[in-house]
A and B are shown apart, each in its own frame.
Chain A
Amino acid sequence: MKLLNISSPHATRPGTTGGVMQQVLLAMLPGIAALTYFFGMGHIIQIALAVIVAVGAEAAVLYIRKKPIGFFLKDYSAVVTAVLLALALPPLTPWWITIVATLFAIVVAKHLYGGLGQNPFNPAMIGFALVLISFPVPMTTSWTAPTPILENAIGFSDAVTLIFSQRETIDAYTMATPLDLYKHKVAVATADEITLDPIFGSGIALGWEWVNIAFLIGGLYLLWRKIFTWHIPVSYLAALTACSILFGWDSDRFVPTSLHILAGATMLGAFFIATDPVTASTTPLGKLIYGAGIGLFIYVIRAWGTYPDAIAFAVLLMNFAAPFIDQYTQPRTYGHAKAKRGLPGKE
């Protein structure tokens, strides 16, 4: 009889990394549902496309790297990356852009850096940033208008045609996002005039508010399941709110706070992108700084940059900083009077 000889602890909490990723996917469902309800079937197709490409690419890379394919596919990380990317892309993004972005995310941003856990940058955001920079026109003109102001909702077949072939008729369905619109109009109009636009609906931003609330609900679910801690979302949202209040108190001149929080990909970013553990800071204090940094950059880019939304760039910028933040924010270990901070030997 052979007895197992391994180091303690012998008891472990059941669950795997794949399980964690599945929870994340589950938490995204309300958001996906809201997006689909308000912006048509485009996202569903994008998700399907991205997931297929991502899993295929992952398997291929694993094969080339001589890694056990089944074992690594089970961690669902490629699926999560693909879904996040698809959600960030405009619903009517042409299919080849989605493929390029996904391939780049999986092959370059993830595996060239060593695979899961070793990538310094959020793969989904790298993929998104790449296509945003490379193909700015289709990327900024592919957001569908909210369904309620369209004559008829974008059904499955409509979406398929629009994404895969007939780009000519696309203008009938698309519209700038509220954030973009407000920013461009604020120079020439007052707040009241701007919000007359049907895209803002009767509330803050038609459809967007519900999408954001749906992602918020999913995020709260993950918090409750202790998949991540409160630090990053809270400091992220706090920083964004603070900035927008500080600069945007005058909604006649700046995008108002409510729009910053509830339009665009704010909540998706707060709970699903910024919290990507691999690329985020890991110390408690570091997470606060990291989240706040993202919030700050989002505001800066949205307010003074040329891109309509800024989650991707803000996250990538802070990804850069995460290792340094970690080095300088190590917690105080039990029994130590002071925390050790900075690089070893350079105290």
Chain B
Amino acid sequence: MSLLHFELHDFRGGIHPEEHKHQSTELPIASAGIPSVIVLPIGQHIGAPSSPVVKIGDKVLKGQIIAEPQGFVSTALHAPTSGTISAIEPRPIPHASGMSDLCIEITPDGEDTWIEHHGVKDYLDTAPAELVNIIQHSGVAGLGGAGFPSHIKLNAPAEKITTLIINAAECEPYITADDMLMREHADQVIKGIEILVHILNPDRCLIGVEDNKPEAINALNKAMGTTRDDTHKIHVVPVPTKYPSGGEKQLIQILTGKEVPAGGIPADIGVVCQNIGTAHAIHNAVVLGQPLVSRITTVTGKACAQPRNYQTLLGTPISHLLKLAGVDHNQMNRLIMGGPMMGFTLQSEDIPIIKTTNCILAANHEELPNPELAQPCIRCGMCTEACPAQLLPQQLYWFAKSSNLEQVEAHNIADCIECGACSYVCPSNIPLVQYYRFAKGEIRQANADKIKSDRAKERFETRLARQEREAAEKEAKRKARAEAAAKKQAEKKAAAEASGASTNTDSSSTTSSTEAPLPDMALLQKKLDAAKTAVEKSKEKLAAAEAEGSDKAELFKNAVEKSQQKMKDAAKAIADARKQMKASENTSSSHANEKGDPNTPERLKNKLELAESRLTTAEERLAAAQAENSDKVDAYMTAVNAQKERVQAAKDALNSVLANSNTPPINETASVAKPSPNIEQLEQKVRAAQTRVDKASERLEMAKAQGMDTIDALQLGLDKQKSKLADAKKQLEEAQS
């Protein structure tokens, strides 16, 4: 069953660091107990962090869901013990940066009361989809390293899975969590693997264990005797001890001889790889109905009085474990989460254990001395020999150091698994991996910047185009106005002549005023027609695009909408023009007269009002500045005074004009003309609002077309503008009626 001989394929490179594993395997796994506080970061896995569904003060039971998965690449989070939610706030999380992220804090009540739960006894007869669902909702994420949500790899892969690989190599020095798990819980592990086999139905399932764990291999083989799996698919395969045989890509290469294509995933070559700890968690989730609330963590290192493996509740602060293991703080020089090859240093002991924490290494000076000063690279090539990814670490280093990102990328830095084998062997003690991490980060940053700058460029260009368009429109309007003014001038002349002749004043004025807007109307009509054809054309294009299923359909739709909008605008403009026409029909030629003279009381009044409102603003600001004791008080003071003067001047001007020409005809004109400019103003307002709405919706559409995340903000802006437009329209209607 298991003693089949497999053809193993070696991977290139690799190293044999000192193992340091026996220290923590002397004693069986112990329970770490319930700490006084539990802190659970909401992002313990790769992908979207889960979102809390509890509030501060809530009582939770062990296994109760406290954060729901957000989307597919995400998983749930459960209370590791019963207690009260005491905080939901950012806390330092286990991350190389030492930064903080949102955490849920639970103060345990010490009862450790389970929520009601039940397992699936006949799991081999349950539909795989249902099991995957259970796994996702039990919060199982890869317990080996990266913490990839497990259900994703199990979810109906596109390719046929031929080989399921269970990664039990555990190649990093010091770590023995998987080793002890296999020794003590082999039965459950095998059951978990059976579930995986049932879900994926591969041709074979290989459990890769490094041959430095004979006890674990024996235990697994013994447990296989009790398996219900009668297909004989599952095999325990001892693999030669060599770091990093437990790297996913390397283990796949050892067991199948195939390489995961660069940028691809194992499923591309028909392989799924799961960690042995994950298999155990899946067993607990499916068979016992217990979500992932605890894991086995190795606490080791020479600073520990008794290195050992602990069954640890997630969220347990590291300080709790260190105390259990009797860490001598004076000795401890480096505190590492993970192993000595790929783990990261911690700056604080309050950081909690999370789903991926397989080891806490409290090292003293002697076993992990402070690194020697880096010497120059002598290009000795030892790193090349050690690199399991067949990279050229010294070249990568050379280019990373000089920030030559192009060359680093050309040398396939993306394929570096950051295993540290190169740094390990480097006689010059160069922190190579840190250079690679730096370069990778810079590349990521550069790509993000590139995307951003492209978008900025696009937005800038759109803006320029818009400004140009607006300028052109303004210019056109100005011309139209100038023409109209010229016409009116002519009219006035005509009218004057007519009145001079004192014949048929009424009729002539009527004719001239009806004639005047006519060319305007023609222009508008033309615009409308053009807009109509544009709409037609766009619609045609849209139909064609839709028929073709082209991805441009969206774009065309926008175009149609835009042209429709234009058409509407044009129609409205015509309507407006008609209204104006009527208005001017009602008013006499004196109306035109009034427009020409800048010193009409009307204008002056406006000016006065404007000046007054400015004065108010200035005064307000002054008051605010005074209240704040800002150093701008003086400036504002001058501003207020200037405004006051202006107001006074405006008032004087108005009064003098009123006094000078307090004649009934003008007064009459003013009163008659008044409603008309008012409506005009309102109309202008409506138009302005309309353009703003147009602009906003244009922006919004652009954002939508580009799938930008500013859509919401833009939508908000658009809505606001729309409501303003509606207001303005209402006002206009009121004024008109």
A and B touch in the complex (CB under 8 A): yes
A contact set with B: CB distance below 8 Å: 1, 3-13, 15-20, 71, 75, 77, 115-118, 226-229, 277-278, 280, 282-284, 287, 326, 330-337, 340, 343-345
Contact of B423 among A1, A9, A335 (CB under 8 A): A9
Consensus secondary structure, chain A interface = loop
The answer to whether A17 and B392 touch (CB under 8 A), given A3-B333, A11-B340, A278-B379, is no
The yes or no answer to B53 lying at the interface (CB within 8 A) is: no
* Inter-chain contact B384/A9, CB cutoff 8 Å: no
Contact of A282 among B98, B368, B379, B427 (CB under 8 A): B379
A332: chain B residues within 8 A (beta carbon): 390
B contact set with A: CB distance below 8 Å: 11-12, 15, 17-18, 96, 98, 173, 249, 253, 259-264, 329, 332-336, 338, 340-347, 361, 363, 368, 370-373, 375-382, 384-385, 388-392, 394-395, 406-407, 409-412, 415, 418-421, 423-429, 431, 433-434, 437
Contact of B363 among A10, A118, A278 (CB under 8 A): A10
Report the Cα distance A9→B412, complex, angstroms.
20
Contact of B420 among A5, A9, A17, A116 (CB under 8 A): A9
Report the Cα distance A333→B393, complex, angstroms.
11
Taking the closest CB of chain B, its distance from the CB of A336, in whole angstroms, is 5
Report the Cα distance A3→B337, complex, angstroms.
13
Q: Which residue of A lies closest to B362 (CB)?
A: A3
* Inter-chain contact B392/A117, CB cutoff 8 Å: no
The answer to whether A116 and B264 touch (CB under 8 A), given A4-B345, A283-B384, is no
Q: List 13 A-B contacts (CB under 8 A).
A: A3-B332, A6-B345, A6-B371, A10-B336, A11-B341, A117-B377, A117-B378, A229-B381, A277-B378, A278-B378, A333-B389, A335-B261, A335-B264
Report the Cα distance A335→B437, complex, angstroms.
20
* Inter-chain contact B381/A17, CB cutoff 8 Å: no
The answer to whether A9 and B388 touch (CB under 8 A), given A16-B375, A19-B427, A228-B381, is no
* Inter-chain contact A335/B378, CB cutoff 8 Å: no
* Inter-chain contact B381/A277, CB cutoff 8 Å: yes
Contact of B418 among A8, A15, A335 (CB under 8 A): A8
The answer to whether A17 and B341 touch (CB under 8 A), given A115-B376, A345-B410, is no
The answer to whether A282 and B392 touch (CB under 8 A), given A3-B347, A8-B420, is yes
Taking the closest CB of chain B, its distance from the CB of A225, in whole angstroms, is 11
B263: chain A residues within 8 A (beta carbon): 335
* Inter-chain contact A7/B433, CB cutoff 8 Å: yes
* Inter-chain contact B407/A334, CB cutoff 8 Å: no
* Inter-chain contact B249/A335, CB cutoff 8 Å: yes
Contact of A15 among B96, B338, B427 (CB under 8 A): B427
A283: chain B residues within 8 A (beta carbon): 384, 392
Report the Cα distance A132→B376, complex, angstroms.
30
* Inter-chain contact A9/B341, CB cutoff 8 Å: yes
Contact of A12 among B259, B376, B423 (CB under 8 A): B423
Q: Which residue of B lies closest to A227 (CB)?
A: B380
Further contacts, 18 of them, CB under 8 A, given A336-B262, A344-B409: A1-B329, A7-B96, A9-B341, A10-B334, A16-B375, A20-B378, A117-B378, A227-B380, A229-B385, A282-B392, A282-B395, A283-B392, A326-B392, A334-B249, A335-B259, A335-B261, A335-B262, A335-B264
A340: chain B residues within 8 A (beta carbon): 410-412
The answer to whether A7 and B380 touch (CB under 8 A), given A335-B259, A345-B406, is no
B338: chain A residues within 8 A (beta carbon): 8
B329: chain A residues within 8 A (beta carbon): 1
* Inter-chain contact B389/A16, CB cutoff 8 Å: no
The answer to whether A333 and B424 touch (CB under 8 A), given A12-B429, A77-B378, A116-B378, is no
* Inter-chain contact A4/B333, CB cutoff 8 Å: yes
* Inter-chain contact B380/A20, CB cutoff 8 Å: yes
* Inter-chain contact B342/A8, CB cutoff 8 Å: yes
Taking the closest CB of chain B, its distance from the CB of A272, in whole angstroms, is 14
The answer to whether A7 and B437 touch (CB under 8 A), given A1-B329, A12-B429, A13-B425, is yes
Contact of A13 among B11, B17, B385, B437 (CB under 8 A): B17
B427: chain A residues within 8 A (beta carbon): 15-17, 19-20
* Inter-chain contact B376/A116, CB cutoff 8 Å: yes
The answer to whether A344 and B371 touch (CB under 8 A), given A8-B341, A9-B420, is no
Report the Cα distance A146→B381, complex, angstroms.
38
The answer to whether A11 and B375 touch (CB under 8 A), given A1-B329, A333-B415, A345-B410, is no
B335: chain A residues within 8 A (beta carbon): 3
Report the Cα distance A42→B264, complex, angstroms.
63
Report the Cα distance A282→B342, complex, angstroms.
26
* Inter-chain contact A330/B378, CB cutoff 8 Å: no
* Inter-chain contact B380/A228, CB cutoff 8 Å: yes
B418: chain A residues within 8 A (beta carbon): 8
Taking the closest CB of chain B, its distance from the CB of A223, in whole angstroms, is 12
Q: Which residue of B lies closest to A335 (CB)?
A: B262
* Inter-chain contact A10/B343, CB cutoff 8 Å: yes
Report the Cα distance A75→B378, complex, angstroms.
10
B375: chain A residues within 8 A (beta carbon): 16-18, 71, 75, 116
Report the Cα distance A6→B253, complex, angstroms.
30
* Inter-chain contact B173/A11, CB cutoff 8 Å: yes
